A and B are shown apart, each in its own frame.
Chain A
Amino acid sequence: MSVAVDDHLWSAIGDPTRRRLLDLLLAEGTGTATSLSARLPVTRQAVAKHLVVLDRVGLVHVTPQGREMQYRIDEAQLARAVAQLADVGATWDARLRRIKAIAEAIQRTKQTKETN
């Protein structure tokens, strides 16, 4: 049910730079603001801010690594986000299939009555 969609999680993942960061973290396992900013057309400071947003909604885990913070994906939370995403569309598909079945059953009943 779309009501259950988590607003914060969605707005965190809705930003294209943040999705790119998630992609990089998935590909490379871990990353720091410095290593990630080297791969993206944005500053280290901007990357650090985006990582804070991802951390706040639990999409990444943070571990201090020397002078920097090292980030990695929280797989369970990411799976949860994607499940919600797939859910909204899939839920409507299921509803529409039920509408179709009900309407067609009524139509068949009506036609049977008319021919009898």
Chain B
Amino acid sequence: MEYGTIEREIHVDASPDIVFEVISTPQHLREWWPDEAVIEPVPGAIGELVFGDRADPEAHVAAMTVVEVDPPRRFSFRWIHPADEVARPGNSLLVTFDLTPSGSGTALRMTEVGFREMGWEVAVLEHEYQDHVSGWDHFVPRLAAYFDRLVASR
């Protein structure tokens, strides 16, 4: 397994066409991810994901660049790169959705890569965290107790 990757797979009881539409069009994107999405599902298109109310100075705006559009099989994009830079490995995370027909529905697989390139070791940590390997066998149970204490003290 590539440590710099987060992978998830779920089954959706809907056709690949419908799932593709939900993951790639702004009107659906804003229902499952940001509060607002400005994006054309066309390779190379540059758009934005707005978290919060755009008028609010606290709102977070993330840049997004569409990489691959292959309906109803694959949709991928890079995001969080600086708005004035071209998205590339090292300044962004690459999210890929792969859709495969499965029974009467769709197997939807999501991968997010680029944490390592971004200097984040998050994927390594998540892998170890979930598998409870080596030192984390000791580490994780104790953390649960720390959390409880922290929450209790608030």
Contacts and interface: CB of A to CB of B under 8 A. Distances in A.
A5 to B, nearest CB: 6
Given A13-B121, A100-B108, A104-B14, 10 more contacts: A22-B135, A23-B138, A79-B143, A82-B143, A82-B147, A88-B6, A89-B126, A95-B32, A102-B28, A104-B13
Contacts of B12: 99-100, 103-104
A7 B120 CA distance: 6
Interface of B: 6, 8, 10, 12-15, 18-19, 21-23, 28, 31-33, 51, 60, 62, 80, 93, 106, 108, 110, 112, 118-122, 124-126, 128-130, 134-136, 138-139, 142-143, 146-147, 149-150
Contacts of A98: 31-33
Nearest to B140: A82
Contacts, number: 122
Interface string A85-109: 1101100110111111011101100
- Chain A contact residues: helix, strand, loop or mixed: helix
A103 B119 contact: no
Interface of A: 1-3, 5, 7, 10-11, 13-16, 19-20, 22-23, 26-27, 75-76, 78-79, 82-86, 88-89, 92-93, 95-100, 102-104, 106-107, 110
6 contacts: A23-B138, A78-B146, A85-B122, A93-B8, A97-B10, A103-B19
- Give the most central of A86, A95, A103: most B CB within 10 Å: A103
Contacts of B150: 75-76, 79
